Amino acid sequence: MSEVILLAVTGAGLGAIYFLVASGLSLIYGLMGVLNFAHGVFLSLGAFLGLEVAQRLGASSWTGFAVSLLVGALAGAVFAALTERVLVQKLYNRHIEQVLVTVGLGLAAVALFDGIWGTDPRFPRGPAWLDETSTIGGANIPNIVFVAIIAAAAVLAAIVLFLKHTRYGMIIRAGVENRSMVTALGIDVRNAFTLVFTIGGAAAGIGGVLASHHFGYVSPMLGQTLLIFAFIVTVIGGLGSLIGAAVASVLVALLQQFANFYLWGTGDFAVVVLLALVLLTRPSGLMGRKA
């Protein structure tokens, strides 16, 4: 029993990290039709800068950890906003070119990180409590898992509140629903685009700092590796659906954990099989709109 609890809770933790990456991807795709291949590098940059700051402030202090989360979020947000303004927005309404530009940015940025931080993984240290475990129903669960789940829940709540109760949130929701109608009403959606990129980048940056503690390392490829699972999560959840992304994140991570443990380490395959099944039965994803 404790085995199942352990797998379920750590799975939820992994799902939380997937969600932090996938939420931005899903919003960006929903509003702009852009599959953002540079989303992983927002995450990596957040993780690296978070690590640097935490080391300066004392890696094992709580202040250091909190500031590293903040710096990660900021780094991701700024990088994402710049990406949108400098590259993506210039290719207005040319979706494939927008995707290609993010592909190029992903390549260039990973190479740059290689040059700055080296290709070898670096190992972040956090407050001692993060490395300890808590016991739930006989299962010893690393505390970082709880932090990841709480952070993801907070980000989800913040984004939902923002989308539901602010003017810009309303524009974004309407834009996801029908962009040309919003434009026809005389609302400039371009600021909404930048905003969506910024929010997504911030979530990815937080995800980066948490992922570095969760997996115990940071490398230039970390973001791009997680990105692929985030893609799968977004497709399964339904492109453009935030709640779909949240549900699918947990589903995918749980499946991965259980398959890795009970089915001889076949977690990644189980995920791909799930993807194929979902596409064959519901091509628009679990919560996506009918195309």
Judged by the rule CB under 8 A, the positions of this chain that interact with another protein are: 29, 33, 35, 87, 90-91, 94-97, 99-101, 103-112, 114-116, 179-180, 224, 228, 231-232, 234-235, 239, 265, 268-269, 271-272, 275-276, 279-280, 283, 291
CB 272 within 8 Å of CB 21: no
184: its two tokens = 């026809």
Q: Collapsing DSSP states into helix, strand and coil, what is residue 34? A: coil
**Half-sphere exposure of residue 223, counting CA atoms within 13 Å on the CB side?**
33
| Cβ nearer to another protein, comparing 147 with 254 | 254
| Cβ nearer to another protein, comparing 234 with 241 | 234
CB of 94 to another protein, least distance (A): 5
Q: Collapsing DSSP states into helix, strand and coil, what is residue 91? A: helix
CB of 283 to another protein, least distance (A): 5
CB of 141 to another protein, least distance (A): 26
Give the DSSP H or E segment for 135: strand 133-136
Helix axes 39-57, 2-32, angle to 10 degrees: 120
CB of 110 to another protein, least distance (A): 7
Q: Which residue is listed with tokens 């899903």?
A: 26
CA 276, distance to chain mean position in Å, is 22
CB of 230 to another protein, least distance (A): 10
| Cβ nearer to another protein, comparing 1 with 280 | 280
Q: Collapsing DSSP states into helix, strand and coil, what is residue 1? A: coil
| Cβ nearer to another protein, comparing 125 with 282 | 282
CA 10, distance to chain mean position in Å, is 17
Strand partners, 133: 142
Strand partners, 208: none
| Cβ nearer to another protein, comparing 169 with 240 | 240
Handedness of CA 62, 64, 70, 76 (dihedral sign): negative
**Half-sphere exposure of residue 220, counting CA atoms within 13 Å on the CB side?**
15
CB of 117 to another protein, least distance (A): 10
CB of 201 to another protein, least distance (A): 18
| Cβ nearer to another protein, comparing 18 with 65 | 18
Nearest to 1 by CA among 103, 135, 131: 135
